[in-house]
Amino acid sequence: MKARLTIAMDGPAGSGKSTIAQRLAEELDYLYLNSGSMYRAMTLLSLRKGEDPTDVCTLTELAKRYRIDFSDNGKITLLNGEDVSDALRTPEIDRAITDIAKIPEVRHEMVKQQRRIGENGGIIVEGRDVTTVVFPDADLKFYISASVEERAKRRFTEQKAKGIETTLEQVEEEIRIRDEIDESREHSPLRTAEDAIVVDTTSMTIDEAVNFVLNRVEES
Ligand code: DC
């Protein structure tokens, strides 16, 4: 295995990619970058400022002015130095994020920041376009998937544990809508890179999925 690889991982919501990417980063002692947290931080900023998430000019300006960093190996997201980690995973942000994530100028700024963070390699980066647009020359690429039904079950269990009132049917419907938006977006849609290793985690435990990916990394 070559030292300090750039490993990119894309996949839909609930596929297990965040857990796999974090575990891999710990095992390899690599930097972990969750690119979705960047779009979430921008969405939080626009909600706080009361901006319209479809206002391209204002959102682009904000994306240029604000710097997003991570500490504690990706566990903490900093927006111009402020720790916003606990405010990023709310239904309000989930609703507004798709408008912001489809603005090409905002994506351009986020991609610049992701490349800055990953410029020295030794990084696991995950998202929707990191294998295709952000790091097209990554040393290793993975596309992590799972059936809609399985992903809905995982999300439902997570949300129940957090005390969020919902039903399995509702979660499954939300996942189908989110997939459709992510895959049909005009700019940087979610798709499987030609040179990505596809990992279907539907009938895998997290440990099995982590080991599978880790073996591919060690073989590389
Ligand atoms: O990975 P996540 O669920 O936290 O991502 C939240 C949203 O951000 C998701 O709906 C798609 C968007 N996103 C994106 O457009 N590009 C990325 N590289 C990562 C996330």
pLDDT in tens, 78-121: 999 999 999 998 888 988 999 999 999 999 999 999 999 999 99
Distance 163 CA to ligand 1 centre (A): 23
CATH number at residue 13: 3.40.50.300
Mean pLDDT of 187-214: 95
**Closest of 37, 44, 71, 78 to residue 59, by C-alpha:** 44
Residue 216 belongs to some domain of the structure? no
Q: Please tell me the pTM assigned to this model.
A: 0.93
- Look at the chain and report how many structural domains it folds into: 1
Number of CB atoms found within 10 A of residue 63's CB: 24
Residue 183 belongs to some domain of the structure? yes
Residue-wise over 185-214: b if at least 16 C-beta within 10 A, else e?
A: beebebebbeebbebebeebeeeebbeebe
Predicted pLDDT at 2: 58
Distance 120 CA to ligand 1 centre (A): 23
- Nearest CA, atom 10, ligand 1: 98
Predicted pLDDT at 184: 93
Residue 146 belongs to some domain of the structure? yes
Predicted pLDDT at 1: 56
More confident call, 158 vs 146: 146
CB 100 within 8 A of CB 43: yes
CB 179 within 8 A of CB 13: yes
Residue 163 belongs to some domain of the structure? yes
Q: pLDDT for 41-87, tens place per residue?
A: 999 999 999 999 899 999 999 999 999 999 998 889 999 999 999 99
Say whether pLDDT at 165 is over 90: no
Give residue 50's domain range.
6-209
Residue 47 belongs to some domain of the structure? yes
Mean per-residue pLDDT over the chain, rounded: 94
Q: Which of 18, 39, 107, 186 to probe ligand 1 with, by most ligand atoms within 8 A of CB?
A: 39
